[in-house]
Structures are given as C-alpha cells and as structure tokens.
Amino acid sequence: MTGFDESERLIWAGRADAYAGGFAKLCAYTVPRLLDVAGVGPGTRMLDVGTGPGTAAAAGCDRGASVTAVDAEPSMVELARKAAPAADVRLAVLLELPFIDGTFDVVVGNFVLNHVGRPRAVLAELLRVARPGGRIALTI
C-alpha cells in the first residue's frame, strides 16, 4: 500500500453517508453510459470495483446482470448492500481482489482509478479477474 492509498483510506473512513448525499449524485450521471459501453445486460457476470454507495452495482442488477461489487471502505460496503441487495457486495482492496482469474465478463469502475496509488497495478488486477475477451470499462 502506498502513502497515497493510506491517505485515501483515512479521508474516506466512515464518510459514506456524506459522499452519498453529495458527490455521489454527480458521479451517478456516468453510470448508464459506463454500463452501455461495457455491454452489461442479462446474464453478464459483472464486477463493480470501488462501488462506493453501489450506484453501478444497482444499475447492473436492474439490467439483469449477475453483479459482484467491492469497496475498501466498510461504510461504503454497507450503503452498497442496501442499494443493490441482489448483488454480492464485499469488502476488498483493488490490488488483492478475492477472485480467481477470468471470473467476470465485465469489470467496471466509476471514478475509482483516481483513488489508488498504483493505477497500472490495479489495471493489471482488473485484467486478471476479467475473462479472456472480457471487457473493462472505467471512468475517471
């Protein structure tokens, strides 16, 4: 974990409700297009990384996808579980995703790479959990 990552964890610790009440509403505008570009639809195995309050996870569930979502902040995981009750929402860090290689058809991340200290390493991890020929779609 880099110093940047440690700083991000401190900044966001316990702040999910404040984020959901403000900035999350702005970030939500990109979710429909993000899922369109990723080709999320019925039966898609989708991973939402850095799910925050679960906006993309809930939208994926609404499209009929089988959704797994992860976030490193426990308060965000709790919000995401409420927003997307059909999703498998877990506490996890991006550099150590608890999934075997090639698990997902699609990996999406809405404004998450700007919150990590080693974005190239995170991209490698996202590629690892995406199936061969799968898609990764990110906003930043």
> Above 70 in pLDDT, residue 5?
no
Mean pLDDT of 75-79: 93
**pLDDT tens digits for 86-100?**
999 999 998 999 999
* Per-residue confidence (pLDDT) for residue 4, from 0 to 100: 58
**Quick one: what percent of the chain has pLDDT higher than 70?**
85
User: Distance between CA 103 and CA 123 in Å, rounded?
Assistant: 15
Q: What is the pTM of this model?
A: 0.89
Distance separating alpha carbons of residues 72 and 13, to the nearest angstrom: 9
| pLDDT reported for residue 63 | 98
**Interatomic CA distance for residues 87 and 100, integer angstroms:** 18
pLDDT at 23 over 90: no
Specify the range with the lowest mean pLDDT, choosing from 20-24, 48-52, 70-74, 109-113.
Answer: 20-24
pLDDT at site 1: 76
pLDDT number for residue 56: 97
Grouping H, G, I as helix, E, B as strand and the rest as coil, residue 40 is coil
Structure tokens at 40: 């999320």
For 91, the 3-state DSSP assignment is: strand
Pinpoint the alpha helices (H) of the chain: 3-12, 16-20, 23-27, 31-38, 55-62, 74-83, 119-129
**Other Cβ atoms closer than 10 A to 96:** 9
Give the per-residue pLDDT at 115. Answer: 78
